[in-house]
Amino acid sequence: MRLWSLRGKRAASSHALACSCPFALAAKDFFMLTVGMLTLAVATGSVLTPVRVFSRRPSFKPETRVVRVLEKDKIRDSSRLPEVLGNIPGFFGHEYGPSGSLSSPSVRGSSGEGVLVELDGIRLNSPLTGSADLGRIPLLGIGRVEVVNGAGIGGASGGTIRLDTSEEVSSSMALGLGSWGKKTFQAQFGEENFSLAIQKESATNDYEFLDRGAPASRKNATLDTTTLFCKGKKVLGDPEQNPLTARFMALVDFRDQGTPGAINFPTPKARQEDSGLLASFSLEGNLADAEGKISLSQRSDRCYFQDPDAVFSPKNSNLGVDSSELKTDWKKTEPVGGHFPSLSLSIRQDETTGTLKNQENIARIHVKDEVLGDWGTLEGELGVDHFSNVGTAFSPRLGLSRIDGDFRTHGSLGSAFRAPTFNERYWPEDSFAKGNPAIRPERTSSIDLGVDRRIGFIKTGLTLFASLSKDQIHWQPVAGKWTPLNLSDTIGRGSEFEVSLDPLPEFSLSGTYTFCQTTSAGKQLVQRPMDQLNLSGRLGKEGRKISCDLAYVGERFTTPDNTEKMPAYWLLGLSADWRIGDETLSARVDNILDSAYQTVPYYPMPGRSFLLGLSHAF
């Protein structure tokens, strides 16, 4: 925005013209003021000189839910998606090892199946297991991460993690060396409407750990991965006449790794080969003050597993998982009586082939309306899902927020429906486990209330939440075999507190604390920490920055009767980068305290480790 000041050449002394709150002027008054100023300028022979006026962006967005966003500058500080999400209140990752290992998310005490993960709107949750493996999702091409806590559509009983690929166009090359044979290579090339990237990573992962107090080392944990990513767009038609924009995206990955198993039941000769394809094509455009989009996506995964020493399970298995989805989206960009309605329709087919053969069709209608007023923001939405093997389910939500300067209040009430996975229903009976065709779907209702406040460079937020789940699904031993069962009512409650300080442009501090109690029949669910604390500090700017992160995870029970538990642990990490011309040197040290810890029983995590990197920008 530009305002104009008057400097009179003939005046012996300077004069100033001030106008307070120009946005409050009516159109007519603003026009008359402008004409008067121009007339005065001509009459006095004054010269108009532009003056820039800066204003601080609003402290809060009018969101009715707890939404936390991480942009690319914060994503660059991490090498794996679980690390990116580590400071998000309410998030906990169940990790089975370092890079390449299975990593299942949990939000507000939910299971991994209760966290919806999407990449550019494409569902990444496996129809076989129900969960998205965060360890297999590369950061290659990711420019934005959004986490929404609370029940929502798509089976999100705990929350939703949305990943958006970057629109940034750049070309660079990077190399990395780290502990336990870790080697990384990444190259990306970008033009105005097209980008291509490749990433390779390998590691021996033969780190040392304590096995019941005795030193041991991880065996058969080698990793070798290759990931390819490309993205492009093309404008169809006259750019001045509401053209259509065609977009495509493809992500391909190949993985060969050892499968060491749990330390109490090791599999020293087991190996697994995975390949995956994620592709999408869309057409989008604007028409009559609305945005429209139609998209087609395909996800295909293949897994070949072999264990020559297997006794109670097959020595070889070959499994394929495919998901195809056709989706249309429509959203009003200009208000209709203060309303911003939107509509989404989709049809998806999930299918497994090979060892397990199953198929299911899912149709969804998602209606949403947002009402903006001087009193605040009111948001309502309804998701209707029809599963060919389960039936029809409804997932409504209502949210309200109000902003008064640097103070925001918000509240949300919603529900989620999670259908049983293929494994939960159809796992073929063997000596280890069996499925349960009679298993019932999960239904979760949740509520959260929160306040946010900014005082100068200090920003704080407190959210209280509670949830009630009916028929939550858990695998439990029955007659010597693991079988999915519906639990009695599961109650979750807790609080999320966060604070950030930005006293200087190149210095910031932040901290979060989460208390989450998730119980069934009066007992805390296994592998759910009740206390989590995260502290972070940043010094410098992009290209010359030092970052420090400290995390605390409280005790977690390992048995349903809460008689056994895993100890709490602290993790300290430090990273730095230094740009010299087109080259950037980076270094990071994880688990500086060399803490011995596990997030999943009998799957030890690595101790102190380092990673050095060198990148060149073209």
Which runs of E-coded beta strand occur in 456-522? 458-470, 473-478, 481-486, 490-504, 507-520
Query: How many whole angstroms separate alpha carbon 524 and alpha carbon 601?
Result: 16
Q: Are residues 166 and 46 in the same domain?
A: no
CA distances from 474 to 144, 420, 441, 449 (A): 32, 11, 12, 28
At 57, the pLDDT band (50, 70, 90 cuts) reads low
3-state secondary structure of 114: helix
Residue 280: predicted pLDDT: 97
Q: Tell me: the pLDDT tens digits for 278-331?
A: 999 999 998 888 999 999 999 999 999 999 998 877 889 999 999 999 999 999
Q: Encoding tokens for residue 1?
A: 């925005």
CATH of the domain at 444: 2.40.170.20
**Which of 538, 572, 479 has the alpha carbon at shortest distance from 77?**
538
Average pLDDT of the chain, as a whole number: 88
Q: Are residues 8 and 87 in the same domain?
A: no
Q: Are residues 325 and 465 in the same domain?
A: yes
State which amino acid sits at residue 578: W
Q: Are residues 18 and 167 in the same domain?
A: no
DSSP secondary structure letter of residue 152: B
Q: What's the alpha-carbon Rg for the chain, to the nearest Å? A: 27
- Report the pLDDT averaged over residues 584-605: 95
- Please list, in sequence order, all residues whose beta carbon lies within 8 angstroms of the beta carbon of residue 253, skipping any fewer than 6 positions away: 136, 138, 225, 226, 227, 228, 274, 275, 276
Q: Are residues 546 and 482 in the same domain?
A: yes
Q: Tell me: the pLDDT tens digits for 169-179?
A: 789 999 999 99
Residue 13: predicted pLDDT: 36
Cα of first residue to Cα of last residue in the chain, in angstroms, is 34
State which amino acid sits at residue 35: V
Query: In this structure, are residues 514 and 531 in contact, taking their beta carbons and an 8 Å threshold?
Result: yes
Does any domain span residue 58? no
Domain that holds residue 36: 2-52
Residue 58: predicted pLDDT: 60
Q: Are residues 489 and 610 in the same domain?
A: yes
At 51, the pLDDT band (50, 70, 90 cuts) reads very low
Residue 35: predicted pLDDT: 38
Does any domain span residue 155? no
Residue 301: predicted pLDDT: 96
At 23, the pLDDT band (50, 70, 90 cuts) reads very low
Query: In this structure, are residues 153 and 395 in contact, taking their beta carbons and an 8 Å threshold?
Result: yes
Q: Are residues 445 and 501 in the same domain?
A: yes
Distance of CA 609 to the CA centre of its chain: 25
State which amino acid sits at residue 261: G
- Report the pLDDT averaged over residues 400-425: 95
Asked whether the predicted pLDDT for residue 527 surpasses 50, the reply is: yes
Query: How many whole angstroms separate alpha carbon 406 and alpha carbon 402?
Result: 11
Q: Tell me: the pLDDT tens digits for 354-404?
A: 888 899 999 999 999 999 888 899 999 999 999 999 999 999 999 999 999
Q: Are residues 77 and 8 in the same domain?
A: no
Does any domain span residue 396? yes
Residue 61: predicted pLDDT: 79
Query: In this structure, are residues 557 and 529 in contact, taking their beta carbons and an 8 Å threshold?
Result: no
Distance of CA 65 to the CA centre of its chain: 15
Q: Are residues 9 and 90 in the same domain?
A: no
Q: Are residues 70 and 7 in the same domain?
A: no
Q: Tell me: the pLDDT tens digits for 466-501?
A: 999 999 998 888 888 889 999 889 999 999 999 999
Domain count, the chain: 2
Q: Tell me: the pLDDT tens digits for 123-136?
A: 999 999 999 999 99
Does any domain span residue 105? no
Q: Are residues 46 and 166 in the same domain?
A: no
What burial letters (b/e) apply to 6-40, b meaning 16+ CB within 10 Å? beeeeeeeeeeeeeeeeeeeeeeeeeeeeeebeee
- Please list, in sequence order, all residues whose beta carbon lies within 8 angstroms of the beta carbon of residue 125, skipping any fewer than 6 positions away: 113, 116, 117, 131, 132, 155
CA atoms within 13 A on the CB side of 12: 0
User: Among residues of the chain, what percentage have pLDDT more than 70?
Assistant: 90
Q: Are residues 72 and 32 in the same domain?
A: no
Q: Tell me: the pLDDT tens digits for 442-461?
A: 999 999 999 999 999 999 99
Does any domain span residue 38? yes
pTM for this prediction: 0.88
Does any domain span residue 143? no
Q: Tell me: the pLDDT tens digits for 83-115?
A: 999 999 999 999 999 888 999 999 999 999 999
Asked whether the predicted pLDDT for residue 36 surpasses 80, the reply is: no
Does any domain span residue 116? no
Residue 151: predicted pLDDT: 92
Asked whether the predicted pLDDT for residue 30 surpasses 50, the reply is: no
Does any domain span residue 60? no
